[in-house]
Structure 1
């Protein structure tokens, strides 16, 4: 990975978040012997649909395909922690954004999986396998979003920061890209406010939208395609969610 992908910054964390991050760093996990009826239930939403597949990568792959691959990895990682994972939009056919959280009203947490792009003005052209594709190598890295219209903003921010902290401890790099337009809820962990995201404010539970990386970036796209890296990222996301929810009980 090029040095240009690296991003580090310092920012304050409220005392409560520092405690949570410390718990995550210690490798906290959900009790594997808990009764299945008591296990937390996490909704994992696959962003976009087959018909409206989102952004297109630098090599022509749809965002929906990236989202589905990572969502399946996150669901598997949650189940390994004895957390019940429920896929939303598994068939890629739920067009209504409001319908997604409506399918899982009793879930304890709602996570929507996406992959990022860049603005039209930043795109360049290149040839890939005989076809002209568009790319931008300016931005790379993950980011997270919460909505102040969500009924549990505090827990949404807490879980987003916990996920972000876990990812950064594992070596994943966040991006500054979205700070140009979206206010930070926590700069250090690339958590932004995006109040009008329907899947976040229509959720009845804490909710976070996760952008796993910029698929228009030619180097990062290749990393985001790697199953082993997806599994590592998914494991850190799942551990962060489990720790955040367990700490609030």
Structure 2
């Protein structure tokens, strides 16, 4: 059978199909009103997580930052849900189940960071001895690469990392240190993105998911900065910009 040159219409059709195949799952014309962001507030009153250099619980930091993020993301037209304390207080498997049932398009787990006990020193704050470590500071991001949304999870984390870096805040590399309790693989060394496949909240999420450690609250200077409305608002705006870019398929 003689070879035929494909018609112009055939080339156009093929191009449309290729473009559709290459488009990221987050693009879909960015229908903000139907794009839901789920904020998973790390820890709970009964399991409050890390204790800051001045004795404040990580959970308190997480709640305040999640509220700021919710406002910033909603102001861009997105739907936002938040897992409450009851869900966060449950076992990790139950929390992962609640996330699965949420129907969210994107998940962000909100946390604040600490350091390994070997690096702690003590100081006196308001008449009480407190543990602190000024050795490390900065934010970090974690994604799972074993789930069905590994590629899109990493895409969102990179978008968020770019926006946090653009504000002049460094990310911390101490989670990559080859010691007990750390030794995490840096997937993107330029954007502070680590791999964590052991967290059910990331691995089993029904949508792209990332965990944000907003900063190291056992570092005395960083704790003071993170405990301000201006820093929370700036972090929240960075998250909102990243969500907007992710939804648009950037």
Structure ranking higher in helix proportion: 2
Which sections of structure 2, spanning at least 5 residues, go unmatched?
1-28, 178-182
- Structure 1 counterpart of 2:174: 177
105, 109, 115: which is aligned to 2:106? 109
- Structure 2 counterpart of 1:13: none
68, 75, 81: which is aligned to 2:70? 75
- Structure 2 counterpart of 1:56: 51
Cα distance change on mapping 1:82 and 1:90 into 2, 3 Å: farther
Give the whole-Å Cα distance in 2 for the aligned partners of 1:67 and 1:60. Answer: 15
- Checking the alignment, whether the CA contact within 8 Å between 1:109 and 1:205 is kept in structure 2 is yes
Give the whole-Å Cα distance in 1 for the aligned partners of 2:35 and 2:146. Answer: 23
Q: Structure 1 segments of 4 or more deviating over 6 A?
A: none
- Structure 1 counterpart of 2:238: 236
Cα distance change on mapping 1:35 and 1:125 into 2, 3 Å: closer
- Checking the alignment, whether the CA contact within 8 Å between 2:42 and 2:88 is kept in structure 1 is no
149, 159, 170: which is aligned to 2:146? 149
- Under a length normalisation based on structure 1, what TM-score does the superposition of the two structures give? 0.82
Deviation at 1:148, TM superposition (A): 1.6
- Checking the alignment, whether the CA contact within 8 Å between 2:32 and 2:78 is kept in structure 1 is no
Cα distance change on mapping 1:101 and 1:246 into 2, 3 Å: farther
Deviation at 1:101, TM superposition (A): 3.7
90, 98, 109: which is aligned to 1:95? 90
Aligned-partner SS, 1:103: helix
- Structure 1 counterpart of 2:123: 126
Aligned-partner SS, 2:205: coil
Deviation at 1:90, TM superposition (A): 4.4
214, 217, 220: which is aligned to 1:215? 217
Aligned residues: 215
Give the whole-Å Cα distance in 2 for the aligned partners of 1:94 and 1:136. Answer: 27
Deviation at 1:242, TM superposition (A): 2.1
- Under a length normalisation based on structure 2, what TM-score does the superposition of the two structures give? 0.82
1:196 aligns with 2:191: no
Aligned-partner SS, 1:98: helix
Give the whole-Å Cα distance in 1 for the aligned partners of 2:32 and 2:65. Answer: 27
Give the whole-Å Cα distance in 2 for the aligned partners of 1:45 and 1:93. Answer: 8
Deviation at 1:244, TM superposition (A): 1.2
